[in-house]
Amino acid sequence: TKDRTMEQQFEGKIAIITGAASGIGYTVAHHLASRGARVVGVDLSDSVGALMAELPGKGHHGIARNLTAPEAAGEIVEETIRVAGVPHILVNSAGVALLDAAVDVPAARWQATIDINLSASFYMAQAAGRVMVEAGYGRIINLASQAAVIGLDQHAAYCASKAAIVGLTHVLSLEWAPKGVTVNAVSPTVVETPLGKKAWAGEKGEKAKREIPVGRFAQPEEVASLIGYLASDNAAMITGSNVLIDGGFTTV
């Protein structure tokens, strides 16, 4: 028999998840919904509404929005409060990886990376943080990356944006800890989402796996489980952390 407490771990909790239509974001949405959370999924893709409606449980909601508009975050939080209530959890999963040699990074691709990976996450954390601080409870988890703590070839914009996420996480955690709001970052290695599998197919992927001490990439559900823990009441003492889930890659 399943542990009933685990099944209902997030009952009564409202979670906003960005990038919820695919990859890690969708896996996190499914993970939290299956444990009782009411999920508001945000994504650039129009499919987000249908995907959220199919999640386990009831009352889920999809919002198709471009998060790079500074006003989008406030409007998303307002819509969440209107359809579900004040959010308890925010997972910032939306992001892009636009790869170029450092000498070749076009200004537009640099700016797009910063806008999506860093600025949109900040705007969402700021808007959610305001209502969470007022409510006296919140869990914010930002998706960073192993690229936040090491250099990777052709990842100048990506590494810069993810390192900045960790710095931002430190500040928000410091300011909001006395108000019952924790803010943490999660930093995976390559994750075997559909996009990850495609990007790391063939010998390139096999070589990358050999460089990871455990010898494989991360599974989306492994990342979602870690995020689920940080989003839970059990993790109240963990804030300001950047938790690596990289099979030991950054220790080598």
DSSP symbol at 36: T
- Contact at 8 Å (CB) between 17 and 65? no
| Strand 14-18 versus strand 61-64 pairing type | unpaired
C-alpha pair distances (Å), 173 with each of 56, 71, 119, 122: 31, 23, 17, 13
Distance of CA 159 to the CA centre of its chain: 16
| Strand 138-143 versus strand 181-188 pairing type | parallel
Q: Catalytic: 158?
A: yes
User: Which residue shows structure tokens 């040699």?
Assistant: 101
Q: Which of 26, 123, 137, 158 is catalytic?
A: 158
119: closest CA among 67, 84, 160, 74? 67
Q: Residue 69 CB: number of other CB atoms within 10 A?
A: 12
Q: Please identify every residue annotated as catalytic.
A: 158
